[in-house]
Chain A
Amino acid sequence: SAVISQKPSRDICQRGTSLTIQCQVDSQVTMMFWYRQQPGQSLTLIATANQGSEATYESGFVIDKFPISRPNLTFSTLTVSNMSPEDSSIYLCSLIGGKTQYFGPGTRLLVL
């Protein structure tokens, strides 16, 4: 299985600021995903990020709030813009290997 790393692992941010989360994979993958896990909740898909095309966002998520970059087949970033306390969550990137989806360790974000 692929090794997925995320930076930062956690952060505490002030409302109104933005944070960019990086996801690095040790192999080339076409399709990557970004999920959000709010406190005590399940995972919700934010968007699908394919290299060479615009990210596809799920209902309730917009590019202005969660811009995503996918400059190559091993890297992606998710920015959480103009943060509010409601954005406090764990953000996870993931990829598909075969028929299985693997997850990064997550970025724990607390917005004050």
Chain B
Amino acid sequence: GDSVTQMEGPVTLSEEAFLTINCTYTATGYPSLFWYVQYPGEGLQLLLKATKADDKGSNKGFEATYRKETTSFHLEKGSVQVSDSAVYFCALVMDTGRRALTFGSGTRLQVQP
């Protein structure tokens, strides 16, 4: 079945450091890909998405590019802030059939001042 694999956390960075959180997927087709963020004590928010190969999703300084050849959707940010401390989830959904999201295990990011 479909699956998403994320790098294990926690990831601890200093403020203004470069961030990469790796995400790879397995799917029987061409899914749409998402990054969701969960801040401490809060619900799940959509961070960015990409619906086809080579699309780049971006939001709040975060970026991720849909790479079909490597089945990857790595999340990057050039300069993290303390307020970016959260858990980040990579997810996919197929456009037909089962429309529910398949999530990765989540990666906790801790940014220190």
Contact B43 A100 (CB under 8 A): no
- Which of B32, B46, B100 touches A45 (beta carbons < 8 Å)? B100
Report chain B residues within 8 Å CB of A103. Answer: 36, 43-45
Q: B16 contacts the other chain (Cβ, under 8 Å)? A: no
Q: A42-B104, A42-B106, A101-B93 are in contact. Are A96 and B44 (CB under 8 A)?
A: no
- Contact call A42/B103, Cβ cutoff below 8 A: yes
Per-residue contact bits, chain A 18-59, to B (CB 8 Å; 1 contact, 0 not):
000000000000010100000001111100100000000000
A101 touches B101 (CB 8 A): yes
Is A67 part of the binding interface, using a Cβ–Cβ cutoff of 8 Å?
A: no
Q: How large is the interface on B (under 10, 10 to 19, 20 to 34, 35 or more residues)?
A: 20 to 34
Interface size class of A (residues with CB under 8 A): 10 to 19
* Chain A interface, >50% SS class: strand
**Residues of B with C-beta under 8 A to A45:** 100-101
Q: Is B25 an interface residue (CB 8 A)?
A: no
Answer yes or no: B77 CB below 8 A from chain A CBs. no
- Mark each residue of chain B from 93 to 113: 1 if its CB lies under 8 Å from any CB of chain A, else 0: 101001111011110000000
- Within the complex, the shortest CB–CB distance from A59 to chain B, in Å, comes to 10
Is the beta-carbon distance between A99 and B95 smaller than 8 angstroms?
Answer: yes
Interface pairs (26), CB distance under 8 Å = A31-B99, A33-B100, A33-B101, A42-B89, A42-B104, A42-B106, A43-B44, A43-B101, A44-B103, A45-B101, A48-B99, A92-B44, A94-B101, A96-B99, A99-B32, A99-B51, A100-B34, A100-B46, A100-B49, A101-B100, A102-B46, A103-B43, A103-B45, A104-B43, A105-B43, A106-B44
